[in-house]
């Protein structure tokens, strides 16, 4: 006989792997049919894609063991039935994909910047990182170091930005755009909610104008019109002009995302902050923004991913980002017709970065949920 306080084990069939399958895939006959159908599709598709991308693919040599130097030597051109992807085009052009036309003698500067970028960003992302405080000091000066390292100056040979390309341009645009747009967006969001009508109107006008215009238009604006506004004799670098456009664009979106977060903060939080004597900025920096940004994390990451992918649009103002280099490679007559490989590779690189961002946002959401019940009040 069961004691009334005794707890029993759940029925066997609802736990473990079998239980999971039953609950999630075969709970009734419709689900079972759908599950079987999907499994069949996966069974057909996964081996094929693995075969094409890896097992039957050429990397440096074709199936005759010759080093591939043009498209005619690719296994899939020699034997369309059995050959897989011809990654040789990526292999041969890997330098361009990573650095564009950056001088080979100076490429250590880009590599060093990539490493320093990792050292600057990783401690920023994980608050349990050992000696985080000291690393963060480096994070703040990193943009300056990277600027001189990549651009030249301070004894380093100058490298004109029209030699930059590939992942380098994608990362410079993406990282700078996101990093600058975040504080700008916060200021715009606070400004739009300000009690001072002039400030609020100016911020609203700016946000609405930028949001109402396609990014491409802003890029053309940066390229063609920005120099007209600059004093004579000052020539702004092409990449810098694009950066201005990208940053303004992103900051308007960021502002709206953060404003959404601000609207979710109860009035009582402002009143409590004010009643203990905090000033406007102290209240925002210590009480309101930390909560508002926390709420906005999914949307912040969402717009950041959007921007990272939108940087590919710079191709139309003549900058060669990762996708631009890819299109250049396709236009090369020795490699004509390898579009699958190039687009697959470019997509993969983008996917690695954006998937990383998306996973990080999930990690953050989970971490911030534990221990802090935002809905307590």
Partner 1 sequence: MSEDSIISLQNVNKWFGEFHVLKDVDLEVKKKERIVVCGPSGSGKSTMIRCINRLEEHQEGTIIVDGIELTGNLKNIDSVRKEVGMVFQQFNLFPHLSVKENITLAPIWVKKMPKAEAEELAMQQLEIVKIPEQADKYPGQLSGGQQQRVAIARSLAMKPNIMLFDEPTSALDPEMIKEVLDVMIDLAEGGMTMIVVTHEMGFAKTVADRMVFMDEGRIVEQAEPDKFFNNPESDRTKLFLSQILNH
Contact set with partner 1 (CB under 8 A) = 266, 268-269, 271-279, 282, 286-287, 290-291, 294, 371-377
Nearer to partner 1, 89 or 289 (CB): 289
Nearer to partner 1, 26 or 280 (CB): 280
Between CA 269 and CA 287 the distance in angstroms is: 7
Q: In the bound complex, what is the minimum distance in angstroms from residue 70's beta carbon to partner 1?
A: 60
Q: In the bound complex, what is the minimum distance in angstroms from residue 275's beta carbon to partner 1?
A: 4
Nearer to partner 1, 214 or 290 (CB): 290
Choose among 346, 365, 257, 364: nearest CA to 308.
Answer: 346
Q: In the bound complex, what is the minimum distance in angstroms from residue 37's beta carbon to partner 1?
A: 45
Nearer to partner 1, 42 or 372 (CB): 372
Q: In the bound complex, what is the minimum distance in angstroms from residue 374's beta carbon to partner 1?
A: 5
Choose among 122, 119, 116: nearest CA to 150.
Answer: 116
Nearer to partner 1, 351 or 363 (CB): 363
* Cα angle for residues 133, 139, 140 (degrees, 5° grid): 100
Q: In the bound complex, what is the minimum distance in angstroms from residue 271's beta carbon to partner 1?
A: 5
**CA dihedral sign, ordered 98, 100, 105, 111:** negative
Q: In the bound complex, what is the minimum distance in angstroms from residue 63's beta carbon to partner 1?
A: 60
Nearer to partner 1, 56 or 272 (CB): 272
* Structure-block tokens of residue 23: 């609950």
Nearer to partner 1, 8 or 133 (CB): 133
Q: In the bound complex, what is the minimum distance in angstroms from residue 364's beta carbon to partner 1?
A: 13
Nearer to partner 1, 214 or 266 (CB): 266
DSSP for 97-150 reads HHHBT--GGGHHHHHHHHHHHHHHHHHHH-TT-TTHHHHHHHHHHHHHHHHHHH
- Residue labelled with tokens 């990549």: 150
Nearer to partner 1, 7 or 373 (CB): 373
User: First and final CA of the chain: distance in angstroms?
Assistant: 45
Q: In the bound complex, what is the minimum distance in angstroms from residue 136's beta carbon to partner 1?
A: 18
Choose among 98, 291, 310: nearest CA to 219.
Answer: 310
Helix axes 132-151, 167-192, angle to 10 degrees: 120
Between CA 249 and CA 241 the distance in angstroms is: 13
Q: In the bound complex, what is the minimum distance in angstroms from residue 276's beta carbon to partner 1?
A: 4
User: Any long-range contacts for 114-121 (C-beta under 8 Å, 24+ apart)?
Assistant: 114/171, 116/142, 116/145, 116/146, 116/149, 117/142, 117/146, 117/171, 117/175
Q: In the bound complex, what is the minimum distance in angstroms from residue 127's beta carbon to partner 1?
A: 13
Nearer to partner 1, 28 or 275 (CB): 275
Contacts of 339 (CB under 8 A, 6+ apart): 330
DSSP for 257-298 reads HHHHHHHTS-HHHHHHHHHTT--HHHIIIIIIHHHHHHHHHH
């Amino acid at each position: 006989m069961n004691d009334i306080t005794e707890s029993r084990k759940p029925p066997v069939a609802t736990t473990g792997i079998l239980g999971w399958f039953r609950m999630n895939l075969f709970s009734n006959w419709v689900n079972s049919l759908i599950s079987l159908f999907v499994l069949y599709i996966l069974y057909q598709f996964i081996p094929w894609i693995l075969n094409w991308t890896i097992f039957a693919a050429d990397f440096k040599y074709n199936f005759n063991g010759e080093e591939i130097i043009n498209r005619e030597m690719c296994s899939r051109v020699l034997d369309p039935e059995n050959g897989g992807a011809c990654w040789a085009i990526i292999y041969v052009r890997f330098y361009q994909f990573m650095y564009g036309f950056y001088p080979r003698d100076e490429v250590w500067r880009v590599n060093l910047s990539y490493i320093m970028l990792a050292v600057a960003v990783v401690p920023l992302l994980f608050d349990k990182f050992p000696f985080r405080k000291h690393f963060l000091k480096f994070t703040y000066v990193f943009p300056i170091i990277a600027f001189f390292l990549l651009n030249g100056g301070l004894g380093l040979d100058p490298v004109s930005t029209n030699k930059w390309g590939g992942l380098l341009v994608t990362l410079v645009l993406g990282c700078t755009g996101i990093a600058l747009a975040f504080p700008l967006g916060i200021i715009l969001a606070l400004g739009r909610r300000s009690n001072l009508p002039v400030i609020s109107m100016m911020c609203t006008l700016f946000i609405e104008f930028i949001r109402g215009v396609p990014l491409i238009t802003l890029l053309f604006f940066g390229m063609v019109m920005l120099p007209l506004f600059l004093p004579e004799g000052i020539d702004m670098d092409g990449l810098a002009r694009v950066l201005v456009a990208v940053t303004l664009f992103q900051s308007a979106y960021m502002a709206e995302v953060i404003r959404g977060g601000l609207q979710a903060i109860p009035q009582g939080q402002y009143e409590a902050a004010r009643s203990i004597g905090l000033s406007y900025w102290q209240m925002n920096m210590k009480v309101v923004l930390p909560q508002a940004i926390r709420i906005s994390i999914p949307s912040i990451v969402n717009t950041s991913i959007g921007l990272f992918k939108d940087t590919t649009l710079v191709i139309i103002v003549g900058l060669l980002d990762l996708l631009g280099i890819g299109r250049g490679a396709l236009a090369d007559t020795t490699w004509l017709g390898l579009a699958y490989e190039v687009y697959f590779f470019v997509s993969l690189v983008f996917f690695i970065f954006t998937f990383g961002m998306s996973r990080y946002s999930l990690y953050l959401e989970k971490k911030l949920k534990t221990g802090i019940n935002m809905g307590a009040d």
